[in-house]
């Protein structure tokens, strides 16, 4: 089984996230995509730095993927009591999916891929999962050379040959949160049931606009 692991704040999840997942699912011939909302990020001071709780972010993902049997969501990071490193999450899935002999792929954008050399245990991350880089036309190409000290040229070539082109879409969670705070419509930016959840739970009003 080929699993794509898609981590992020998803604060909130939006149509750009779903388009990236769908593009990777079909173009990389994956069997499942697992959305992993971050819990305590090592790059943030704690759970309170997110604009919505882990539970709300998890619930919104569940709503967003209703009816998509290839898409799953995991609580493994939001239930963890200590900072979550990507390498630990990948170890978790390797153990969890042992019965199906999983082949893991790590979904990421080009900007995230370029930062990969700065992550905790980069070399093990790349042994556990093949980075699958989504690329938008006219955007700067990923900087593959940054991983020269972590990966063989053969592995780098596989990553280079498996870039996932996807349609340009200018959505971001920050843009959506700011729009909500300013009283603007977010229709057609998030799934309809996610929009309803945000409204009924009064999320993203009066929030700081960074991150």
Domain assignment present for residue 25? The answer is yes
pLDDT at 44: 58
pLDDT single digits (tens) 125-182: 999 999 999 988 777 788 888 888 888 888 899 899 889 998 888 899 999 999 999 9
pLDDT at 46: 46
pTM summary value: 0.92
Domain assignment present for residue 38? The answer is yes
Domain assignment present for residue 129? The answer is yes
Domain assignment present for residue 107? The answer is yes
Phi, psi of 63 (to 5 degrees): -65, -40
Domain that holds residue 156: 2-200
pLDDT at 210: 44
pLDDT at 18: 97
pLDDT at 146: 85
- Specify the 3-state DSSP secondary structure of 55: helix
Show the low-confidence residues of the chain (pLDDT under 50). Answer: 45-47, 208-211
Domain assignment present for residue 120? The answer is yes
Domain assignment present for residue 66? The answer is yes
Q: How many domains does the chain have?
A: 1
- The C-alpha atoms of residue 43 and residue 108 are separated, in whole angstroms, by 17
Range 17-44 burial, b when 16+ CB lie within 10 A, else e: bbebbbbbbeebebebbbbbbbbbbeee
Domain assignment present for residue 206? The answer is no
CA angle (81, 83, 84) in 5-degree steps: 100
Domain assignment present for residue 116? The answer is yes
CATH number at residue 125: 3.40.50.620
């Amino acid at each position: 089984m080929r699993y794509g692991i898609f981590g992020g704040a998803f604060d909130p999840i939006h149509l750009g996230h779903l388009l990236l997942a769908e593009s990777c699912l079909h173009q990389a011939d994956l069997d499942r995509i697992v959305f992993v909302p971050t819990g305590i990020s090592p790059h943030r001071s704690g759970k309170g730095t997110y604009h919505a709780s882990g539970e709300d972010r998890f619930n919104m993902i569940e709503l967003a993927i209703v009816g998509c049997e290839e898409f799953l969501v995991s609580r493994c990071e939001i239930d963890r009591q200590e900072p979550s490193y990507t390498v630990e999450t990948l170890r978790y899935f390797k153990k969890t999916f042992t019965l199906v002999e999983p082949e893991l792929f790590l979904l990421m954008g080009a900007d995230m891929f370029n930062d990969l050399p700065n992550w905790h245990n980069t070399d093990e991350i790349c042994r556990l999962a093949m980075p699958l880089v989504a690329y938008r036309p006219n955007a700067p190409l990923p900087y593959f050379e940054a991983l020269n000290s972590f990966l063989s040229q053969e592995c780098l070539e596989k990553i280079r040959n498996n870039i996932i082109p996807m349609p340009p879409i200018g959505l971001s969670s920050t843009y959506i949160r700011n729009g909500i705070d300013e009283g603007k419509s977010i229709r057609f930016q998030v799934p309809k049931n996610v929009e309803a959840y945000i409204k009924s739970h009064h999320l993203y009003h009066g929030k700081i606009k960074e991150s």
